[in-house]
């Protein structure tokens, strides 16, 4: 039994949060003692496993600012994580000391964790280099980011083990951090498929009791053809592509057919995040501008059960981000037997098989809309793709394989002699 602590900035709702929760579940199932330390945790805006007592969750440093003067998000995030790392290293009660710390997103905490008296092994999971996620806004922004980028590279190099989420991210990691000799291993995220199976059974039993299938939303008729778009309300997620593609679909289909079409955008929405608030309003305005009010439903932060209902009810999943690092949502869609329409870039090129489990499209509404149209018109193709997608997740991205590999990595970490590990870092 290994004592594992997950150190994560904000246990909200997102792909990174889903990954660390699934990793925690995997290790707990293997008999390890797992806990979370975070800067922020809202029990009304999180994955249920972090709120229902499945894991101890300790919050420190939430009083520190998330931004200064409406800016300096990165500096504030680094300071908040440094505070958490100091707590974990020097102030955590003796009985809560751990053998391995798993951190992600922000690497600046790693040197502090290595100073702890009871030196834990540090595993860093790189979703994507943080410096590439920062917008380029001129010379002042470049000067501001310069020391932050230097810290990111050098602190990642101090981890005992580094993992990345895809071969795409591995290539980007090596191109970005050229001074590092570290070669990360690829550990694909996975689905806790048992949860989806249990939820499907639960929803079926509920429908049987009611003696009818309930609509997923009051504005979605029972005979609707549902395109589902699940992603946070951020501009880089490119929800606008789904809206423009739907407009093109509406200009192509007969009015009676398009009347059945519904695009449901279900996104993580946090009122503390200004971009979430602004972008949601932008999408509402774009929906009105494109005259799609009758065909579009915008949902904020659906619960896990609501998301499952949407996935089971949908006919097709749309995935619009460009160069997404991995993307767990396509796996969720495929496991629920839905064909996936995604962009031909980034992580989806490793999960979605073009013309087999869905379509990989160019970043144009013409290409995206053509795939949406084909799936609307060709039911046998849609069902075949859904079946092949389900099998692909079972074969290539099973929770069992993910849990086994992660367990091996944790066991390998705790068996490395401290002297050899520290000597390797000095090299």
**pLDDT tens, 245-277?**
999 999 999 999 999 999 999 998 989 888 999
422 belongs to a structural domain: no
Q: Please check whether residues 132 and 177 belong to one and the same domain.
A: yes
With beta carbons less than 8 A apart as the criterion, state whether 51 and 43 touch: yes
pLDDT (average), residues 144-156: 89
Predicted confidence at residue 171, as pLDDT, reads: 94
16 belongs to a structural domain: yes
Structure confidence by residue, pLDDT tens digits, 157-205: 999 999 999 999 999 999 999 999 888 999 999 888 888 999 999 988 8
Structure confidence by residue, pLDDT tens digits, 311-350: 999 999 999 999 998 989 999 999 999 999 999 999 999 9
353 belongs to a structural domain: yes
Q: How are strands ordered across the β-sheet holding 316-319? A: 296-300, 261-267, 225-230, 316-319, 340-343, 358-361
Is 252 exposed, middle or buried (CB count within 10 Å of its CB: 0-12, 13-18, 19+)? Answer: middle
Phi and psi (nearest 5°) for 125? -105, 115
pLDDT at 131 > cutoff 90: no
Q: Please check whether residues 294 and 184 belong to one and the same domain.
A: no
User: What whole-number percentage of the chain has pLDDT above 90?
Assistant: 72
User: 129-132: long-range contacts (C-beta < 8 A, 24 or more apart)?
Assistant: 129/172, 129/173, 129/176, 129/177, 130/74, 130/105, 130/106, 131/176, 132/172, 132/176
Give residue 143's pLDDT band: very low, low, confident or very high (50, 70, 90). Answer: confident
Q: Using CA atoms of 46, 48, 53, 56 in order, give the dihedral in degrees to the nearest 10.
A: -40
Q: Please check whether residues 153 and 260 belong to one and the same domain.
A: no
Predicted confidence at residue 195, as pLDDT, reads: 87
**What is the residue whose two structure tokens read 């869609």?**
333
Q: Please check whether residues 198 and 165 belong to one and the same domain.
A: no
* Cα 118-184-165 angle, rounded to 5 deg: 105
pLDDT (average), residues 214-229: 91
Phi-psi region of 291 (alpha: psi -120 to 50; beta: other; left: phi over 0): left
pLDDT (average), residues 24-35: 95
pLDDT at 214 > cutoff 90: no
98 belongs to a structural domain: yes
Which residues constitute the domain of residue 360?
A: 193-397
Q: Please check whether residues 151 and 247 belong to one and the same domain.
A: no
133 belongs to a structural domain: yes
Q: Please check whether residues 217 and 260 belong to one and the same domain.
A: yes
420 belongs to a structural domain: no
122 belongs to a structural domain: yes
Least trusted range by pLDDT, from 92-96, 230-234, 338-342, 347-351: 92-96
Q: Please check whether residues 18 and 155 belong to one and the same domain.
A: yes
Separation of alpha carbons 390 and 105, rounded Å: 30
373 belongs to a structural domain: yes
pLDDT at 144 > cutoff 80: no
**What is the residue whose two structure tokens read 């008296």?**
117
Residue 341 pairs in a beta bridge with 318, 359
Q: Please check whether residues 168 and 38 belong to one and the same domain.
A: yes
pLDDT at 2 > cutoff 70: yes
pTM over 0.85: no
Average pLDDT of the chain, as a whole number? 91
pLDDT at 424 > cutoff 50: no
Q: Please check whether residues 111 and 39 belong to one and the same domain.
A: yes
Q: Please check whether residues 205 and 75 belong to one and the same domain.
A: no
Tell me the C-alpha to C-alpha distance, in Å, between residue 167 and each of 24, 102, 142, 164, 188.
Answer: 23, 21, 28, 8, 9
The domain spanning residue 233 has which CATH number?
3.40.50.2000
Give residue 363's pLDDT band: very low, low, confident or very high (50, 70, 90). Answer: very high
Q: Report the domain count for the chain.
A: 2
Give residue 387's pLDDT band: very low, low, confident or very high (50, 70, 90). Answer: very high
Q: Please check whether residues 175 and 207 belong to one and the same domain.
A: no
Q: Please check whether residues 216 and 147 belong to one and the same domain.
A: no
pLDDT at 409 > cutoff 90: yes
Q: Which two tokens stand for residue 125?
A: 């999971």
Predicted confidence at residue 418, as pLDDT, reads: 60
pLDDT at 420 > cutoff 60: no
């Amino acid at each position: 039994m290994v004592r594992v602590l997950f150190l994560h900035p904000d246990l909200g709702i997102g792909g990174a949060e889903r990954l660390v929760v699934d990793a925690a579940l995997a290790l707990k199932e293997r008999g390890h003692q797992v806990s979370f330390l975070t800067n922020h945790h809202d029990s009304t805006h999180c994955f249920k496993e972090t709120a229902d007592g499945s894991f101890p969750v300790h919050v420190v440093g939430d009083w520190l600012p998330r931004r200064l003067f409406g800016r300096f998000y990165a500096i504030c995030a680094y300071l908040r994580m440094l505070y958490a790392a100091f707590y974990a290293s020097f102030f955590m009660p003796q009985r809560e000391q751990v053998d391995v710390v798993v951190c992600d997103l922000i690497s600046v905490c790693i040197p502090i964790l290595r100073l702890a008296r009871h030196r834990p092994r540090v595993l860093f999971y790189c979703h994507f280099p943080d410096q590439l996620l920062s917008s380029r806004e001129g010379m002042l922004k470049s000067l501001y980011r310069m020391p932050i980028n230097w810290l990111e590279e050098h602190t990642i190099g101090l981890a005992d083990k580094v993992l990345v989420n895809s071969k795409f991210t591995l290539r980007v990691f090596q191109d970005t951090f050229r001074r590092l000799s570290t070669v990360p291993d690829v550990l694909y995220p996975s689905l806790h498929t048992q949860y989806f199976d249990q939820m499907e059974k639960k929803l079926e039993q509920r429908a049987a009791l009611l003696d009818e299938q309930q609509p997923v939303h009051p504005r979605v008729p029972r005979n609707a053809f549902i395109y589902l778009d699940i992603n946070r309300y951020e501009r880089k997620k490119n929800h606008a592509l789904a809206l423009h593609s739907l407009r093109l679909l509406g200009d192509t289909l007969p009015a009676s057919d398009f009347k059945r079409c519904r695009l449901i955008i279900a996104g993580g929405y946090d009122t503390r995040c200004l971009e979430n608030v602004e972008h949601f309003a932008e999408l509402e305005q774009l929906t009105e501008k494109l005259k799609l009010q009758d065909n579009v439903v915008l949902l904020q932060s659906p619960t896990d059960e609501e998301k499952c209902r949407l996935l089971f009810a949908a006919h097709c999943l749309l995935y619009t981000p460009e160069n997404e690092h991995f993307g767990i949502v396509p796996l969720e869609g495929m496991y629920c037997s839905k064909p996936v329409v995604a962009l031909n870039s980034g992580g989806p090129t490793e999960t979605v098989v073009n013309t087999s489990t869905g379509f990989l499209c160019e970043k144009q509404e013409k290409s995206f809309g053509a795939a949406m149209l084909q799936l609307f018109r060709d039911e046998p193709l849609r069902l075949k793709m859904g079946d092949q997608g389900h099998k692909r997740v079972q074969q290539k991205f099973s929770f069992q394989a993910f849990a086994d590999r992660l367990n091996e990595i944790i066991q390998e970490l705790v068996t490395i002699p401290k002297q050899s590990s520290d000597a390797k870092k000095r090299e």
